[in-house]
Structure 1
Amino acid sequence: MRTIKLFAGAFAGAATLALVPVATAQENSPACTRPAQVLDLRNWKITLPVDDPDQPGAQPLEVQQPQLKRYGLDPWFVPTAACDGVRFRSAVNGVTTPNSSYPRSELHEMTRGGTQPVSWSPTSGTHTMEIDQAITHLPNDKPHVVAGQIHDGQDDVTVFRLEGEKLYVTNGDDPNFALLDDHYVLGTRFQAKFEVSGGKIKAYYNGVHKVTLPATFDGAYFKAGAYTQANCAKSVPCDPGNFGQVIIHRLAVTHRPS
C-alpha cells in the first residue's frame, strides 16, 4: 500500500496546505490534534477534495489505515477546537472521484482494521450506522450537502441530504423521497441512523423511525462526512471559500450476524 506523506498536501489550483501535526507533549498543546483522537476510525478510510500527489489532477487524495490514525488536513478534515467533533469540509472546486462531478471530504467504511474493503448484504445480518452530527455550512446557489449514505457496488442507495432548509432521506434516484425536517437550521445537532436487515432499510431521525425502504442491492458499505452536491459549474465563486461542511460528534457502525 502506498505511503501517504503526512506533512504535505495541495488543494487543486491553490496554495500548499499543512497537515494537522501529531500531538506533542508541550505544556499548552491542545487536547486533540487529529480526527482519530475524537472518532473511532479503525475501520474507515477517507477521500479528501485535494489532489493525490502521485496523480495530480486525476484523483482525489485517499488516506487509509494505518496512516489515517495520525492524519488530519486543515481545513478539510480536523478536530473541532473543543475536541468534541470532527469537521469535514468540501469546497466546490475540490478534486472529485472519477464517478462523480461533486467533491467530498467523506469517510468510506472498511474492515479488518481499515485495511480491506467491506461488502455486506441487506438480507443477511443487521447493519447499523449512527451519526451524531450537525450540518454547518452550505455552498452558494445549489445549497445541497449529503451527510451520510449507504452505497452499493454501483451507486448510492439512500442518503441523508440537506437542500437549503429541507432535510431528506433519498431513495435511489428520488432525492426527495422522505422529508425529515422542513426547517433545518444550520448548526443544529441531530442524530441520523440507518438500520438494514431482512431486505429493508429503516431510517431514523433523532431516534424516531421515519421511513422504511426496500433493499435489493448487494456489496454495501456506509459513508459519512460532507459530500457537497455542487461544483464550479453550479455554484460561485469557484474557490475554497465556497463549501459544504459537516461536524460529526459521534459515529458508530455495527454488524450483527443473523
Structure 2
Amino acid sequence: MDGTVRRIALFAGALALALTACGGPPPPQPTVAPTPEPAPSAAPSAPPTSGAQYPAEVLDLDNWYLTLPTGREGDPDDVYPPDLDTFSDPWFRLTDAGDGVVFTANAGGVTTEGSNYPRSELREMANGELASWSNTRGTHTLDVRQAVTRLPDMKPHVVTAQIHDAEDDVVEVRLEGVRLIAEYDDGDGEVVIDPAYELGTPYDLRITAAGGSVEIFYNGRLAANIPERGSGWYFKSGSYVQSNPTRGDAPDATAAVVLYALRVEHSL
C-alpha cells in the first residue's frame, strides 16, 4: 500500500472511532442470512384400523356358526358361539385394515360329508339352533357387502353366498373366472349377475326369499328373480372353493372372500 492510500485508510478508521465515541452511527456490519429450518419429514401413512381384534367385532356372528377347511376328513372343524366371539385363525381373520373378515379355503382342505370341496363358511342359526325357514311364508333377507380377492388357478370358482336346504343348495351366488352368477336347479339354471367382475372389487348383495321365489339384488339393482320355493332353508356366506387337487389345483391353492358387512332379517 503506498503512503497516500495508507494515510486515507488510517484517517477513515480514526473518523469511525470518533463518530462511535460521539454517539454517531456505527459502521455497517455484514449481514448473515439465517439458516433455514429443516422441513419436517412426512410421517409414513399407516393403514386405517378399526381397533378390532376378532372378526366377531366387525360382523355380528351371534346367529352363525363357522365351518373351516381343517379337521378330520368328512368331519371339518366347526366353531360355534360364544367361542366364535374371540376366534381367529389363518382361514378366518381380519383384513389388515381391520374393516372386514377374510374367509379362505384351500383346494386340499377338509370337506364336509357329501361335498367334494372345502370351505371357510358361515351357516345361519336362530336362537342357538340351526335356522330353518320357508319362502312360502314371510320374507327372509340376507344382506352382505363382500369382495372376492383370490381364486385357484386351474378351476377359478368360488361360492360366496347361498340358500341351502336340508339336502342340497337351493341358490348359489358364485364367481367363475370373471363371471359372477346365480345358479339354481342343481346347476341347470343360471343368471349372470356381473359378466366382468374384477377381483378385489367390493359389491353389495341382497338375497330375498319370499312369495315362493328368490330375488337377488346386485349393487341395488335387481339382477335375478328365481322361481324356487321350499322349506328347511337357511343362509350361508363365506368362501366355498369349488376346486380340489383332482381338478388340477395344488392342495394349497386358495379362494378368498372378504365380508365387510353381514345382516339377516326375517319377517313373518
Normalising TM by the smaller chain, what interval?
A: 0.7 to 0.9
Aligned residue among 127, 130, 133 for 1:117: 130
Q: Which residue of 2 aligns with 1:93?
A: 108
* Match status 1:84 vs 2:104: no
By how many angstroms is 1:204 displaced?
0.8
By how many angstroms is 1:237 displaced?
2.0
CA distance in 2, matches of 1:63, 1:251: 18
SS in 2 for 1:84: coil
Q: 1:209-228 maps to which residues of 2 (within 5 A)? A: 209-228=222-241
List alignment gaps of at least 5 residues for structure 2: 1-48
Asked if the contact 2:134/2:233 (under 8 Å) is kept, the reply is: yes
Task: Normalising by structure 2, report the TM-score.
Answer: 0.79
Aligned residue among 63, 73, 93 for 2:79: 63
SS in 2 for 1:174: coil
Asked if the contact 1:168/1:175 (under 8 Å) is kept, the reply is: no
SS in 2 for 1:145: strand
- Aligned-pair Cα RMSD in Å: 1.4
Larger radius of gyration: 2
CA distance in 2, matches of 1:30, 1:252: 19
Q: Residues 208 and 98 of structure 1: is their aligned pair in 2 closer, same or farther, counting only changes over 3 Å? A: same
Q: Which residue of 1 aligns with 2:163?
A: 150
| 1:187 counterpart letter in structure 2 | G
C-alpha offsets along residues 1-44 of structure 1, whole Å, 9 cap, x if unaligned?
A: xxxxxxxxxxxxxxxxxxxxxxxxxxxx9822211011000000
Task: List structure 1 segments (4+ residues) > 3 angstroms apart after TM superposition.
Answer: none
Aligned residue among 120, 131, 134 for 2:147: 134
Asked if the contact 1:139/1:235 (under 8 Å) is kept, the reply is: no
List alignment gaps of at least 5 residues for structure 1: 1-28
Higher helix share: 2
Q: Residues 30 and 85 of structure 1: is their aligned pair in 2 closer, same or farther, counting only changes over 3 Å? A: closer
Asked if the contact 2:169/2:186 (under 8 Å) is kept, the reply is: no
Q: Which residue of 1 aligns with 2:57?
A: 37
Task: Normalising by structure 1, report the TM-score.
Answer: 0.82
Aligned residue among 226, 245, 250 for 2:256: 245
- Is 153-162 or 174-183 further displaced after alignment? 174-183
Q: Residues 30 and 202 of structure 1: is their aligned pair in 2 closer, same or farther, counting only changes over 3 Å? A: closer
> How many matched pairs?
220
* Match status 1:171 vs 2:191: no
By how many angstroms is 1:176 displaced?
6.0
By how many angstroms is 1:162 displaced?
0.4
Asked if the contact 1:122/1:217 (under 8 Å) is kept, the reply is: yes
By how many angstroms is 1:172 displaced?
2.2
Q: 1:198-213 maps to which residues of 2 (within 5 A)? A: 198-213=211-226
Asked if the contact 1:130/1:252 (under 8 Å) is kept, the reply is: yes
Q: Which residue of 1 aligns with 2:29?
A: none
Q: Which residue of 1 aligns with 2:265?
A: 254
By how many angstroms is 1:174 displaced?
2.5
